[in-house]
């Protein structure tokens, strides 16, 4: 599977459960999200219609002047979306002045519902515009995670006027998916945001609802105790639910990606990918050979299933916390030493590791932040690198180095271009088996896991 630095892809099938309450004088209020105790539904004010986009956006770029038209590149969660400007630069936008519940590495009540709400709104949009939260034409600021603080505006009609746009940040507050955060009193729309929040609180919408109100996209049942083999064979059955598994840590990358393996009764080796977020708190997961028990949520990303929402607190553990059972166990897949042709043939299971017994020659590739993305005309936004190699049988073998992989050259400096590997030989490659677009490939997590040398030429 391709590594998820972010979250799982949102399921359109569940969107109907999180459509907004009616704020236009209609009778579409969702009683499951509003608990007033009265038989009469309240008349809700559409505050999102009161905030007006007052900056011309055509032929402008948000990253330069704080306003510009964009299109969606990837949905992340309820307060983060990746956009592409008209000049092809990527904008990782953090919705200013809100903070929706988590739905990626951590899973919180109303988090997935907020994510689905955002996706529903932006997929209905004919035009999307980002502005600086100050509503001034000046370069935007970013948060500590290098995401650009933005107000997101969308219109659903063709050739919209400025009056046709709605502020999605405000609409998220209005629907009770977030409280206001970090909004100074001198900011534009300060009063409207607070009026919208008070209405959501008074009507107990979503995050302001009593704990007894059910979020249809948040699983609260017991974790199913399953094997890693069962997960691989029937992952869709557990999607959106909690599972409990046991296995041995085979490898990890940074603090966000961990692979765990186990051996089935018939001797076959199975692996699972854990997206652990960016805190690194679950310490038992970050040592190869640790046998661990873990409980997490099954989520989907790019058609593959993974485990997220892993818990660990050294001082106040819960029954769902990661548990260290023992250390220094042999990694099950250490026995998987084979030529690359066996990987391509599917002789080993995905998310397990393998050490190649043959050499690969790099023939072409793409990626790295020093390289130009031919689809956008600007530098790649992250340092993921893909290499196409040839094995001794003449077969094409794809080697993928995800963003965050520790790739260093002979000088000890980070590698930022696939061309560093061009024409070279990769020997003793140890990587994670992946399946992408129906083809088996390898993920290389560090240049410590491979020997790189000049390719010998035959006279």
pLDDT digits (tens, 9 = 90+) for 286-303: 999 999 999 999 999 878
Tokens of 79: 């307060």
Q: Is the confidence at residue 21, as pLDDT, over 60?
A: no
| Residue 113 pLDDT | 97
| Residue 377 pLDDT | 82
Q: Is the confidence at residue 15, as pLDDT, over 50?
A: no
Output 38 or 54, whichever has higher pLDDT: 54
| Residue 27 pLDDT | 34
Which CB contacts under 8 angstroms, 24+ apart, belong to 134-143? 134/66, 134/187, 134/188, 135/54, 135/55, 135/188, 136/66, 137/55, 137/60, 137/65, 137/66, 137/67, 138/65, 138/66, 139/63, 139/64, 139/65, 139/66, 140/62, 140/63, 140/66, 142/94, 143/94
Q: Is the confidence at residue 23, as pLDDT, over 60?
A: no
**144-200 confidence digits (pLDDT tens):** 888 999 999 999 999 999 999 999 999 999 999 999 999 988 889 999 999 999 999
- Give 3's pLDDT tier (boundaries 50, 70, 90): very low
**96-123 confidence digits (pLDDT tens):** 999 999 999 889 999 999 999 999 999 9
Q: Is the confidence at residue 4, as pLDDT, over 50?
A: no
- Give 40's pLDDT tier (boundaries 50, 70, 90): low
341 neighbors 390 (Cβ within 8 angstroms): no
Output 307 or 221, whichever has higher pLDDT: 307
Domain with residues 12-208, CATH architecture: Beta Barrel (2.40)
**52-80 confidence digits (pLDDT tens):** 999 999 999 999 999 999 999 999 999 99
pLDDT, mean of residues 41-50: 90
Q: What's the CA angle centered on 158, arms 154 and 164, to 5 degrees?
A: 45
Domain with CATH 2.40.50.90 in the chain: 12-208
Cβ within 8 Å of residue 335, ≥6 positions away = 269
Burial of 358 (0-12, 13-18, 19+ CB in 10 A): middle
Spatial CA neighbour of 180 closest among 47, 73, 62: 47
Q: Is the confidence at residue 431, as pLDDT, over 60?
A: yes
- Give 37's pLDDT tier (boundaries 50, 70, 90): very low
pLDDT, mean of residues 262-288: 93
Q: What is the mean pLDDT of the chain?
A: 90
Longest CA–CA separation in the chain, Å: 89
In this prediction, what percent of the chain has a pLDDT beyond 90?
A: 80
- How many other CB atoms are there within 10 angstroms of residue 38's CB atom? 8
Options 2.102.10.10, 2.40.50.140, 3.40.50.300, 1.10.3720.10; CATH of 224-332? 2.40.50.140
| Residue 34 pLDDT | 45
- How many other CB atoms are there within 10 angstroms of residue 224's CB atom? 16
- Give 25's pLDDT tier (boundaries 50, 70, 90): very low
Domain with residues 336-454, CATH architecture: Beta Barrel (2.40)
pLDDT, mean of residues 17-38: 43
Domain with CATH 2.40.50.140 in the chain: 224-332, 336-454
Q: What whole-number distance in Å separates Cα of residue 41 and Cα of residue 28?
A: 9
Output 119 or 35, whichever has higher pLDDT: 119
């Amino acid at each position: 599977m391709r590594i998820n630095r972010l979250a799982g892809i949102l399921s359109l099938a569940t969107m109907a459960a999180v459509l907004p309450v009616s704020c236009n004088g209609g009778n579409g209020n969702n009683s499951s999200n509003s608990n007033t105790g009265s038989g009469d539904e309240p008349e809700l004010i559409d505050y999102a219609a009161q905030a007006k986009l007052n900056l011309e956006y055509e032929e402008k770029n948000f990253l330069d002047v704080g306003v510009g038209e964009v299109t969606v590149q990837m949905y992340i969660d309820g307060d983060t979306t990746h956009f592409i400007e008209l000049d092809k630069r990527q904008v990782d936008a953090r919705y200013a002045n809100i903070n929706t519940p988590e739905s990626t590495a951590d899973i919180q009540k109303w988090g997935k519902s907020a994510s689905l709400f955002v996706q529903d709104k932006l997929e209905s949009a004919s035009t999307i515009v980002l502005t600086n939260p100050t509503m001034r034409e000046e370069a935007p600021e970013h948060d500590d995670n290098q995401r650009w603080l933005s107000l997101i505006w969308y219109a659903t009609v063709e050739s919209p006027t400025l009056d046709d746009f709605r502020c999605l940040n405000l609409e998220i507050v209005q629907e009770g998916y977030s409280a206001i955060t970090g909004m100074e009193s001198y900011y534009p729309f300060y009063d409207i945001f607070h009026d919208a929040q008070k209405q959501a609180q008074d009507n107990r919408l979503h995050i302001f609802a009593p704990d007894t109100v059910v979020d249809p996209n948040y699983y609260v049942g017991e974790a199913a105790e399953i094997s890693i083999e069962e997960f691989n064979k029937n992952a869709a059955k557990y999607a959106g639910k909690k599972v409990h598994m046991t296995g041995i840590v085979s490898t990890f990358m940074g603090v966000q990606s961990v692979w765990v393996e186990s051996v089935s009764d018939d001797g076959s080796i199975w692996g699972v990918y854990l997206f652990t977020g960016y805190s690194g708190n679950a310490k038992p997961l970050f040592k190869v050979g640790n046998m661990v028990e873990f409980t997490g949520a099954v989520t989907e990303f790019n058609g593959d299933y993974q485990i997220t929402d892993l818990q660990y607190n050294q001082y106040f553990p819960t029954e769902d916390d990661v548990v260290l059972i023992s250390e220094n166990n042999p990694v099950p897949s250490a026995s998987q030493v084979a030529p690359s042709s066996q990987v391509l043939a599917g002789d080993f299971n995905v998310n397990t590791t393998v050490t190649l017994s043959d050499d690969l020659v790099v023939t072409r590739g793409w990626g790295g932040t020093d390289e130009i993305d031919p689809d956008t005309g600007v530098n790649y936004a992250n340092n993921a690198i893909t290499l196409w190699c040839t094995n001794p049988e003449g077969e094409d073998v794809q080697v993928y180095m995800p963003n965050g992989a520790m790739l260093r050259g002979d000088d000890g400096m980070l590698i930022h271009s696939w061309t560093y590997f061009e024409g070279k030989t990769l020997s003793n490659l140890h990587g994670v088996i992946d399946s992408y677009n129906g083809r088996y490939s390898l993920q290389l997590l560090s240049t410590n896991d491979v020997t790189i040398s000049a390719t010998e030429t035959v006279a």
